[in-house]
Amino acid sequence: MGQHVDRFAEPAAKARRAMVRGIVAGGGLTDPAWRAAFEEVPRHLFVPYYFTGRFTGGTGGYERLWCEDPDPVKRDRWLRGAYRDEPLATRLRDGELFSSSSQPSLMALMLDALEVTDGDTALEIGAGTGYNAALLCHRLGDAAVTTVDLDPEITESARSHLATAGRHPTVITGDGARGCPERAPFDCVIATCTLPSIPPEWPAQCNHQGRIVAPLSTGIIVLRVRHDAEGRSAEGRFLRTSAFFVPLRGGAQPREGRAGGLPRRAIENDLFRFLLSLTAGSLDPREALSLWEREHRPERNRFGVTLSGDRQWAWLDDPEGPYVWPLAQTDG
């Protein structure tokens, strides 16, 4: 097969540099290795089409922008949109978002939180478009990266996008909640889909001091894996930022805390809704509100998660309490 010729290469490079400058101006990409990855990996090759929330034709719905549109104005909109610091809806089913390309600045934050070093191996849960895997490949090398997704259409598409960009990590169709035992152990695991709890297979497939970065509730949890006499455990805190991802397919769905009857100031507060989701099934909404106000509306980074044996719990400030809540187990 001939080498792919990218007719958008020059304008894409210019747009990519502008995207990176924006992320850096916002405090991201402080690691030169990750900055180089974002400067050099062409995001547009991973989103040959995507959907915007525009209403068209008077009937409502999404507008599809794609690289082969015969209208040059729409092609230009597609390319410029590919390099905005925004998430892109890449797959819809029955009008609902099924898969997306995450916001680049959030991807940069999560990749930085992995604290990778040369020689590390990485497992990605949720292949998406393949763009995040390509960034990992740029940093660690293709052979060090494994990406898993339950949907064969997504893995096939991601594999194709990666090949077009000249990258060839291991792409596996399978249940991400089970990790990838045949490629373990890993130095880090990164998930690009949200979950109600951390699958125990992930720390079990990590080396000692391995890192896990994953969306949980509406936040990003960063865990450090430990090997001890009782097996493998993990513990860590949430990043300060909010995050909203497509749920993990094949596992338990994230719980949503009910907020009926609560004051509007609480219901509409992102931090309170994070607490409500994290404690769903453990605290009723009024108990959650009382805690939130008593603890001065805590930011996400005051919360954490601990896994030990078959137990898994979230906590505020201290894993030993007094504020701890069991997390729902992820179905395997």
Q: DSSP assignment of 20-32, as one string?
A: HHHHHHTT---SH
| Rounded (10°) CA dihedral 236, 36, 26, 189 | -20
* Residues 225/210, Cβ–Cβ less than 8 Å: yes
How many CB atoms are located within 10 Å of the residue 81 CB? 16
Of the ranges 168-172, 177-181, 240-244, which one carries the lowest mean pLDDT score? 240-244
Helix H or strand E segment including 276: helix 270-278
Beta bridge partners of 219: 216
CB atoms within 10 A of CB 320: 8
What was the pLDDT predicted at 260? Answer: 62
- Asked if residue 281 belongs to a domain, the reply is yes
Q: What is the structure's pLDDT at 93?
A: 79
Cβ distance 38 to 135 under 8 Å? yes
Q: Is 90 inside any structural domain?
A: no
In the structure encoding, which two tokens stand for residue 47, read together?
Answer: 């989103």
User: Is residue 307 assigned to a domain?
Assistant: yes
Give the residue, 227 or 213, on which the prediction is more confident: 213
Place of tokens 């490079």: 13
Show the CA angle centred on residue 191, arms to residues 166 and 28, nearest 5°: 75
Structure confidence at residue 198 (pLDDT): 94
pLDDT confidence tier of residue 59, bands split at 50, 70 and 90: very low
**Residue whose entry in the numeric block shows the structure tokens 């497939």:** 205
Residue 113 lies in a domain: no
Cα torsion through 36, 38, 42, 44, rounded to 10: -170
Tokens 């201290």 found at: 318
Side-chain-side CA neighbours of 136 within 13 Å: the count stands at 36
Average per-residue pLDDT for the chain: 90
Distance CA 43, CA 68 (A): 16
* pLDDT the model gives residue 247: 80
pLDDT (0 to 100) of residue 262: 86
Question: Is 3 among the domain residues?
Answer: no
Integer CA distances (angstroms), 18 to 13, 15, 84, 290, in order: 9, 5, 9, 45
How does pLDDT run across 127-176, given as a tens digit for each residue? Answer: 999 999 999 999 999 999 999 999 999 999 999 999 999 999 999 999 99
pLDDT at 3: 60
pLDDT of 332 higher than 70: no
Q: How confident is the model at residue 58 (pLDDT cuts 50, 70, 90)?
A: very low
Asked if residue 7 is part of any domain, the answer here is no
Going by pLDDT thresholds of 50, 70 and 90, the confidence category of residue 56 is very low
Indicate the number of domains in the chain: 1
User: What is the pLDDT at residue 92?
Assistant: 81
Those residues whose C-beta lies under 8 Å from the C-beta of residue 92, and which sit 6 or more positions away, are 51, 62, 98
Q: What is the CA radius of gyration of the chain?
A: 20
Q: The whole model's pTM is what? A: 0.91
Other Cβ atoms less than 10 A from the Cβ of 65: the count is 23
The pLDDT score that the predictor gives to residue 245 is 85
- pLDDT value, residue 309: 85
Flag whether pLDDT at 2 surpasses 90. Answer: no
Task: Let me know if residue 149 belongs to a domain.
Answer: no
- Known catalytic residues are 102
Is the pLDDT reported for residue 301 higher than 60?
yes
Residue 287 within any structural domain of the chain: yes
Q: In sequence order, what are the residues at sequence separation of 6 or more whose Cβ sits closer than 8 angstroms to the Cβ of residue 74?
A: 65
Of all residues in the chain, what percent carry a pLDDT higher than 70? 91
What is the extent of the structural domain holding 314?
264-326
Least confident interval from 40-44, 45-49, 326-330: 326-330
Q: Angle at which helices 104-113 and 9-25 pack, to 10 degrees?
A: 60
Percent of the chain clearing pLDDT 90 (strictly above): 76
* pLDDT score for 314: 97
Residue (of 237, 200, 201) closest to 219 by Cα position: 237
Beta strands 122-125 and 186-191 are parallel
Alpha carbon dihedral 270, 149, 180, 254, in 10-degree steps, equals 30
Q: Which pLDDT score, from 0 to 100, does residue 57 have?
A: 45
Which pair of structure tokens corresponds to residue 269?
A: 């507060």
